Amino acid sequence: MRSGIIMNARHQFSACFLCQVSRTFPTQQQLYSAVDEIARSIAAKSPLAVVGTKAILLHKRDHSVSDSLDYVATWNSATLNSTDLKEAMQARLEKRLPSYSKL
């Protein structure tokens, strides 16, 4: 959530993501600028978090809620001690942008 406002998943999905992806643009250049902004926002995140989010979403598509929650718990426990998490926390404390290692 980039706005800092606490929202439930349905509201966040409809308010943030869909507004950015499905809105119309007066010109092709404005469309490309908006897409570039979304891509840069995703690219600034931890590569491990981006890959993990994709893996979890793909898993959920074909599995039950219970199985998916187990999968999320396993994924989270495997990545909890990552350098990305430490870097994110340190960067926030130092009020700087994080610098993540490549996968």
Provide the Cα torsion 46, 50, 53, 56; round to 10°. -110
Residue with tokens 């998943």: 9
Please check the confidence at residue 32 and state whether its pLDDT lies above 60.
Answer: yes
Please check the confidence at residue 33 and state whether its pLDDT lies above 80.
Answer: yes
DSSP string, 22-42: H---SSHHHHHHHHHHHHHHH
Q: Mind listing the pLDDT tens digit for each residue in 48-97?
A: 989 998 999 999 999 999 999 999 999 988 888 889 988 989 999 999 99
pLDDT at 101: 85
Q: Where does the pLDDT of residue 15 fall: very low under 50, low under 70, confident under 90, or very high at 90 and above?
A: low
The model's pTM:
0.65
Structure tokens at 48: 């491990």
What number does CATH give the domain 46-103?
A: 1.10.12.10
Domain boundaries, the chain: 1-43, 46-103
Structure tokens at 11: 């509201």
pLDDT at 66: 95
